[in-house]
Structure formats: C-alpha cells, structure tokens
Amino acid sequence: MSAQILDGLAYSKQVRQQTLEVIKGLSRPPELGIIVVGQDPRSAVYVRNKQRAATEVGIQCHVCPCCAEISTTGLIHVMGSNNKHPAIDGYIVQLPLPAHIDLDVVANGVDPEKDVDGFHPLNQGLLLRGSPRFVPATPRGIIELLKHNGCTISGKRVVILGRSTIVGRPLAAALLLNGALGDATVTVAHTKTEHLQEVCREADILVVAIGRPRFVTSDFVRQGAVVVDVGINKTNGGLCGDVDFASVKEVASAITPVPGGIGPMTIAMLLKNTLESCQRRTMRGK
C-alpha cells in the first residue's frame, strides 16, 4: 500500500492563515528584510515566494539587492543597516552566496535578536542548550508537519541523513528538546557513515537532506517508516528530491513530496519566526 502523502503545501496555507489572524491583532505589522547578493535564478524564485507569502499574511517585506561582486565587508555594512533599523523585526541573507563571501563572518554579523533564520552561532548554541530563541525555519517546518499529521516523535528513533548547519545539525538539536515536539532518539548520518543503508533502515523517521537526486531508495527504508525529503534538485526530468519517491512510497507509511513538501513549510516557519520576533521586540518596547 502506498504511503500517506504529507502535504506541506496545504498545511503551510493553514499556518499562514493562523499567522495572518495573529498579525491582525498587533499594534503594528511585523517587518522582514531579505538581503540578496547577485542574480542567482533559483534564489530569485525563492525570494519572490517569500515576498508574496509575507505580503499575504500582513508582514511588510523589504528586499535589498546587492551586486554579486560585493565584498564580505560590504555585505556586513549592508547587514549593519538592518541590525540598526528600528522597524526591522528580522531579516535573512538569502543563500547561496558567491564563493568569495565568508559565510562564517556573515553568520556572525546578524543581530541575534533579528536572526529569523536561526544561523547566528549564539542562536545555534541556545538551541543546542535546549532554550532556543529561533528554531531555523526548515527544521521547525519538518517538526510542525510531522506533528500536524499525527506522526509521533517522542521516543522514536530518528535518523537524519545530512549534517549541514542549515538542516541536519539544528534539526538534531530541535528533536532532542524536552516536550512533545522533541524527546526523540537521534542519529546523524552522512556519506562517510559506514553501513549507511543499515543505519537508515533503523529509523522510525528518516529525514534526508543530503543534496543528491534520488539518493535514498527503498533499500534505505524500513517497512512503515516515515520519510521526510528535504532535498530539491533540478534534473533533466524536472525537480526531484533526495529520495526516490516512486520506490520509497511503496514501503514508507508516510512521505513528503518534492515539490510541495518541506519547501512551503520552510517559508511558513520563516514568517512565524518573524512574527514571534516582532512580538518579543514589542514587549521590550523596541
């Protein structure tokens, strides 16, 4: 029997509607900044989607384009303007960045209280300690989608295939948090993991964020496991994930599609993080 499809597109619309209802009751609309370096075509699509989603829920979204040749120092100067701007509740620097930009310097340059991507080392440390200010949007979206569909996390064995600082590592920390949304037993695997298929087959919930088209086949998945595909890859046949959807859906109990799975949830959680930042700043009189 084919797996249940975890429809992130449909649920993200519900989340955005809930966000809109909360924003209607605020004394002022939240404001989100997006800094874009260069003219990467995929980034342009992502930014347009974020702009449109922000506008729909009542968040004022400001896009700041920068030339591809900007230096790390120049980008930090632009970020400083967002850090100081009293109306900006949160902002992101759209990835990927040109190879000459120092990502560590950029991550450190964001005001941690406006870091709605959750990439600043301080915010990553707070998440690791179990008291997060911001849970990064993609990990938060994964957890919220699982919860919405009745997929139990507490006590389950979760294997995360991929160890990036954007998905794999923060997701592992979030799944270890105390409470209904965490309390998982987490293994982080990667391409250097020995006996990788066997490790993945131990998972009750398998999250794949490895950046390789259709890398995970049914041989990686235990019968009845829940599979979350974070990857999005452009191939000659169109967009696909890191999971071979056709084969895996026949053994999994539930699976996210690509597109229409985690991508829309990531945007919805970015908006929620921006709303929550606005609420905190308003309480502090900022």
Nearest 10 degrees: Cα torsion 216, 222, 226, 232: 0
Positive or negative torsion for Cα 265, 269, 272, 274: negative
Bridge-partner residues for 4, per DSSP? 254
d(CA 141, CA 76): 28
Tokens of 156: 């389950």
Active-site residue (options: 117, 229, 242, 244): 117
Q: Which of 50, 114, 156, 272 is catalytic?
A: 50
Active-site residue (options: 89, 94, 114, 115): 94
Angle between helices 8-24 and 137-148 (to 10 degrees): 100
| 229 noted as active-site residue | no
Task: Order the strands of the 90-93 sheet from edge to edge.
Answer: 60-66, 31-37, 90-93
Output the CA–CA distances (angstroms, integers) from residue 172 to 12, 131, 165, 256, in the order listed. 22, 14, 10, 19
The answer to whether residue 223 is catalytic is no
Written as one string, the DSSP assignment of 5-66 is E--HHHHHHHHHHHHHHHHHTSSS--EEEEEEES--HHHHHHHHHHHHHHHHHT-EEEEEEE
94 carries an active-site annotation: yes
Report the relative pairing of strands 4-5 and 185-189 from DSSP bridges: unpaired
Identify which of 186, 188, 199 has the alpha carbon closest to the alpha carbon of residue 153: 186
The residues annotated as belonging to the active site are 50, 94, 117
